[in-house]
Structure 1
Amino acid sequence: MVTKRKTHKERDSGQTERALLDAVGDLLGTSGFSSLKTNNIARRAGKDKNLIRYHFGSLEDLLAAYIREKDYWPPFFERFRLNEKPESQELRQLFTGLMQENFRFFAANGKMQQIIRWQISEGNALLRGISDAREREGAKLLAMTDPLFQDSGINFRALLALLLGGSYYTVLHAVTNKSTVSGIDANLQTDREAILQTISQVIGWAWQAAGEKDRTK
Structure 2
Amino acid sequence: MERKSAGGSIRNKERSKKKFLDAVGKILKTKGYQALKVNTIAATAGVDKKMIYTYFGGIDGLINAYIRSKDYWSMITIEEIERIKPKIDDGGKSFMEEMLLSQFDYVYTNKEAQKLLLWRISEPRKSLKKLTDTQEENGEHIFKLMMDPHFGVRSRDFRAILAIIVSGLYYLNLYAAVNGSIFCGIDIHTPKDRENIKKAISYLLEQSYKHLKNSDK
- Under TM normalisation by the shorter chain, which class is it? 0.7 to 0.9
Contact 1:185–1:191 (CA under 8 A) maintained in structure 2: yes
Counting matched residue pairs gives 212
Which deviates more from structure 2 when the two are superposed, residues 42-51 or residues 149-158?
A: 149-158
- Aligned twin of 1:138: 139
- Aligned twin of 1:167: 169
Contact 1:154–1:206 (CA under 8 A) maintained in structure 2: no
For residues 14-33 of structure 1, the aligned pairs below 5 Å read: 14-33=14-33
Confirm or deny that 1:61 pairs with 2:61: yes
The one-letter code matched in structure 1 to 2:125 is N
Unaligned runs of 5+ in 1: none
TM-score by length of 1: 0.86
Contact 1:73–1:134 (CA under 8 A) maintained in structure 2: yes
Larger Rg: 1
Contact 2:25–2:112 (CA under 8 A) maintained in structure 1: yes
Alignment match of 1:198 (pick from 194, 197, 200): 200
Which deviates more from structure 2 when the two are superposed, residues 125-134 or residues 3-12?
A: 3-12
Q: Distance in 2 between matches of 1:212 and 1:52?
A: 53
RMSD: 2.4
Give the drift of 1:138: 0.7
For residues 199-214 of structure 1, the aligned pairs below 5 Å read: 199-211=201-213, 213=215
- Aligned twin of 1:119: 120
Alignment match of 1:176 (pick from 175, 178, 181): 178
The one-letter code matched in structure 1 to 2:171 is Y
Identity of aligned residues (%): 33
Contact 1:56–1:62 (CA under 8 A) maintained in structure 2: yes
Q: Distance in 1 between matches of 2:85 and 2:165?
A: 20
- Aligned twin of 1:110: 111
